[in-house]
Chain A
Amino acid sequence: MTMPSLLSVPRITRRAGKVWHRNMVVFIRTWQVNFFPPLVEALLYLFAIGLGIGSYVHDINGIPYVNFIAPAILAIAVMNSAFFECTYGSYVRMYYQKSFDAMIATPLSIEDVIAGELLWGATRSVIYVIIMLPVLAAFGVISLPLALFVIPFGFLGGLMFAGIAMCFTAISPGIDTLNYPSFLFITPMALFSGTFFPLTLMPVFLQYIAFAILPLTHLVAIMRMFTLPSFSWLILVHFAWMVVVTAFFCLLSINLMRRRLIV
């Protein structure tokens, strides 16, 4: 049997849904610890940055500062929930709990298992968005009903970060080395992706870099168009960028994981 290349399209069946379902069951059973953090997170950002810094900044290009950062709060939640689920969460299930080994002793294939984990990571992002939306709406910092479109984009963004995260999980020698992508990639991205200040404040070459390689830039931009609302043709570029990157990393992660787990 020849080893498939790293971007070959894996055969995924509907059984991936069973892995998703397992994670969903555990999530719902421990709902108290899962539903609380996004609520608190939304409030913390709103008060500390939105109202705190916002009382000095007032507005950005005519947009009230709290309204400007509201989509960033959502996008960062999407990024964090999918990324940490598919790094630390998946790593624990893979390495410490050996759950993947147990699953592939059944009709599930390793491709099904990883696809299920990715879908679950994206779902978790969507759940966080759905929990945060009413909070933001209550503070009047997003514009309904158009803002509801952040939900499907939350799923796409979640899948994108899940795929990226799973690639790190597949190549990480141990759970501690997952700290590197968290601090060197995720944390800077949360600050420099047009989240709390516009990209245009940065030197031009940094703007290009943010646009070219920081996935969060595109998610924040799309979400901001819907929550303000304020659209431009750039939405197509952002959307296309995310679709391509999502597909690339999801495929890559499944192939990397197969390489790691099938010996």
Chain B
Amino acid sequence: MAVDGIRFEVRKGEIFGFLGPNGAGKTTTMKMITCVSPRTSGALRVLGLDPDKNPAEIKGRLGVVPQETNLDPDFTCFGNLFSYSRYFDIPQEEAAKKADELLAFVQLQEKRDVAVEKLSGGMKRRLILARALVNNPDLLILDEPTIGLDPQARHLIWEKLRSLQAQGNTIVMSTHYLDEAARLCDRLVIMDNGKILVEGAPADLVKQHVGHEMVEVGKSAEVIACLRDLGIPFEETGDAIQIATDSSREIARILLEKCKPEKFTTRPATLEDVFLKLTGRTLRE
């Protein structure tokens, strides 16, 4: 079973994120929303409709950005958008106009008549985003939209997603990048082993589960013993010790006075801290 007893609701106009390690069930959840994978039980409504009964109607109003690049190599950039429009019954003239608009939106006008194999990874992802918009979807589903992209390309995708949200689009996305989720998502869930662990706004989750700040101390037996004596909760990671706190000054003062650490840094707590705390540090396949 890939997902088990998950419950979530996406509100109109928000960006909703699915986070989780590999095999958590994110893609399966996405596939159920996009009417590809069947459910064994449970209720699911997408845009108010039942995926078992009205798949074509739902899919006609969705825009899907899959994890894998599945552009049609037999067509150009324009051809990909244009031929994809046909699957949605969009009249040819309208489809051609929309295709050019979308190429401009994702900044690929210059590649209009270029075969898709000639595109870079970032350009392909942008073209897939454009393809997901040919039918003016009510709901955009993105499965790891910036996977494998360089920072410039990621920022461009983020910018486009934000402008889509500003135009009133509802967006559901899964991602491995916690900074991406923290930046973009209004609300998100963290999944593991097919279950939802927490749900909420990124900032709230950080506050709730970690605190405001993190103090990182170089790992040594003395510091560990010292913290144990003081009764300060901490976590060991690789070569560092991490202390979650609401007041880094206070911790820093105590550390300097009592533990004599070689070096330490303080930083704001992030979604990554929440994620690792909830899903552990064990490597997933």
**A, B: real partners:** yes
Report which A residues bind B (CB closer than 8 A). 1, 13, 15, 18, 21-22, 25-26, 29, 97-99, 101-109, 262-263
Given contacts A107-B87, A109-B55, could you give 10 more A-B pairs where the C-beta distance is less than 8 Å? A18-B87, A21-B86, A26-B74, A97-B70, A98-B70, A101-B68, A106-B135, A107-B60, A108-B56, A262-B37
Closest A-chain residue to B65, C-beta based? A105
Task: Say whether B64 faces chain A, with CB atoms less than 8 Å apart.
Answer: yes
Q: Which of B54-72 contact A (CB under 8 A)?
A: 55-57, 59-60, 62, 64, 66, 68-72
> A26–B60 Cα gap in the complex (Å)?
24
Beyond A97-B70, A97-B72, whether A105 also contacts B37 by CB under 8 A is no
What distance in Å separates the Cβ of A56 from its nearest Cβ neighbour in chain B? 46
Beyond A97-B73, A106-B87, whether A1 also contacts B66 by CB under 8 A is no
User: What are the residues of chain B within 8 A of A13 when measuring CB–CB?
Assistant: 56
Please state if B84 and A1 are interface contacts (CB–CB under 8 Å).
Answer: no
Closest A-chain residue to B135, C-beta based? A106
Closest B-chain residue to A21, C-beta based? B86
The 10 A-B residue pairs with the shortest CB-CB distance, nearest first, are A98-B70, A106-B87, A105-B64, A107-B56, A1-B38, A102-B70, A26-B74, A107-B60, A107-B59, A101-B70
User: What are the residues of chain A within 8 A of B34 when measuring CB–CB?
Assistant: 105
Task: Say whether B254 faces chain A, with CB atoms less than 8 Å apart.
Answer: no
Task: Say whether B29 faces chain A, with CB atoms less than 8 Å apart.
Answer: no
Please state if A107 and B89 are interface contacts (CB–CB under 8 Å).
Answer: yes
Closest A-chain residue to B39, C-beta based? A1
Give the residue of B36, B52, B56, B83 whose beta carbon is less than 8 angstroms from that of A25. B83
Please state if A105 and B40 are interface contacts (CB–CB under 8 Å).
Answer: no
Please state if A106 and B70 are interface contacts (CB–CB under 8 Å).
Answer: no
What distance in Å separates the Cβ of A147 from its nearest Cβ neighbour in chain B? 34
Task: Say whether B88 faces chain A, with CB atoms less than 8 Å apart.
Answer: yes
> A18–B71 Cα gap in the complex (Å)?
17
> A109–B53 Cα gap in the complex (Å)?
12
Q: What are 8 contact pairs spanning A and B, CB under 8 A?
A: A15-B56, A18-B87, A21-B86, A29-B74, A98-B68, A107-B55, A107-B87, A107-B89
User: What are the residues of chain A within 8 A of B39 when measuring CB–CB?
Assistant: 1
Give the residue of B40, B52, B84 whose beta carbon is less than 8 angstroms from that of A106. B84
User: What are the residues of chain A within 8 A of B88 when measuring CB–CB?
Assistant: 106-107
What distance in Å separates the Cβ of B41 from its nearest Cβ neighbour in chain A? 9
Give the interface residue-count category, chain B.
20 to 34
Give the residue of A21, A22, A102, A106 whose beta carbon is less than 8 angstroms from that of B66. A102
User: What are the residues of chain A within 8 A of B83 when measuring CB–CB?
Assistant: 22, 25
Closest B-chain residue to A110, C-beta based? B36
What distance in Å separates the Cβ of B30 from its nearest Cβ neighbour in chain A? 11
Closest A-chain residue to B85, C-beta based? A106
What distance in Å separates the Cβ of B174 from its nearest Cβ neighbour in chain A? 15
Please state if A104 and B74 are interface contacts (CB–CB under 8 Å).
Answer: no
> A15–B73 Cα gap in the complex (Å)?
21
Q: Which of A13, A18, A99, A105: most chain B CB closer than 10 A?
A: A105
Closest B-chain residue to A108, C-beta based? B87
What distance in Å separates the Cβ of B42 from its nearest Cβ neighbour in chain A? 11
Q: Which of B29-53 contact A (CB under 8 A)?
A: 34, 36-40, 52
Please state if B87 and A15 are interface contacts (CB–CB under 8 Å).
Answer: yes
Please state if B38 and A104 are interface contacts (CB–CB under 8 Å).
Answer: no
> A21–B62 Cα gap in the complex (Å)?
23
Closest B-chain residue to A25, C-beta based? B83
User: What are the residues of chain B within 8 A of A263 when measuring CB–CB?
Assistant: 37
What distance in Å separates the Cβ of B69 from its nearest Cβ neighbour in chain A? 8
> A13–B55 Cα gap in the complex (Å)?
13
What distance in Å separates the Cβ of A85 from its nearest Cβ neighbour in chain B? 14
> A103–B72 Cα gap in the complex (Å)?
10
User: What are the residues of chain A within 8 A of B37 when measuring CB–CB?
Assistant: 262-263
Please state if A103 and B87 are interface contacts (CB–CB under 8 Å).
Answer: yes
Closest B-chain residue to A29, C-beta based? B74
User: What are the residues of chain B within 8 A of A104 when measuring CB–CB?
Assistant: 36, 59
> A39–B160 Cα gap in the complex (Å)?
51
> A259–B88 Cα gap in the complex (Å)?
25
